[in-house]
Structures are given as structure tokens and as C-alpha cells.
Amino acid sequence: MAEPLRHGHEPVRTCIGCRKQGSRSQLIRLVARNGGSTVVVDERRRMAGRGAWLHPSDTCLALAIKRRAFGRALAGATEIAAVERYIAAGMPPADAPVDAGKPSKPESGSEN
């Protein structure tokens, strides 16, 4: 529980996507809710429970999904729609309009 804080600096956290470290202010905190199955963004970084940290970027989100890091860091949590929404909303829209109806997901294969 008590993390050893040897450095006098800002606490450092590890992104579950790219596995690089960053200060707390660079990462978003994720916690599992709904009995542990749903991952939500803890914007204030103060929700109870086990947390995971992620850079708010598409790249790190994709990496975390790919390596199933959510389930590993948050004890089996798999529903990450809230996180995807959060990051999508926080990112400047690339060129696709956001509310253009139902997006068809181009991903394939890995249903489980």
C-alpha cells in the first residue's frame, strides 16, 4: 500500500500503455467500478480503490488495449468505453466529425 517515495520530486506513475513513467499530472487515473468490471476515469485522482495510470493519448490507449493492460492493472476490468470517450473528447478531432452517426468499428478478429 505505502509506496516508497525515495525521490523528493513529484510522484511518478507508470503508464499502462507505453509503460513509460510520467508525473501524476501527465497521466490520467483509472479505477474500476461496477463491481470491478467497468473502467472509469478518475479525473480528480482521488477515488477509492486500485488505480491504473495512462497517458491521455490514443496511442497509449491502443497499447493498453492491445496488451490487455486494463484487466491486468485493474483486476479483470474490461469495459473501457468511458476511457475511450474521455480520450476521444480530450483529443483535438483529427478530421472526422465526431457526431457523424454510428461509427463502424474497423477493428476485427479479437472478440472474446
Among 41, 42, 52, 55, binds Zn ion (CB under 5 A): 55
Q: State the minimum distance, in angstroms, from the CB of residue 17 to Zn ion.
A: 4
Q: For the beta carbon of residue 92, count every other beta carbon within 10 angstroms.
A: 4
Q: What share of the chain is helix, strand, coil (3-state, %, to 5)?
A: 25, 20, 55
Q: Give the footprint of Zn ion on residues 35-54 (CB under 5 A).
A: none
Residues of this chain, 10-29, that bind Zn ion according to CB under 5 A: 15, 17-18
Pattern of binders to Zn ion over 67-96, x per CB under 5 A? Answer: ------------------------------
Three-state DSSP state, 24: helix
Closest-approach residue to Zn ion (CB):
15
H or E stretch covering 39: strand 38-42
> Of 68, 62, 67, whose CA–CA distance to 88 is shortest?
62
Helix (H) / strand (E) element for 86: namely: helix 81-90
By C-beta, is 77 or 87 nearer to Zn ion? 87
30 scored as a contact of Zn ion (CB under 5 A):
no
Residues that bind Zn ion (CB under 5 A): 15, 17-18, 55, 60
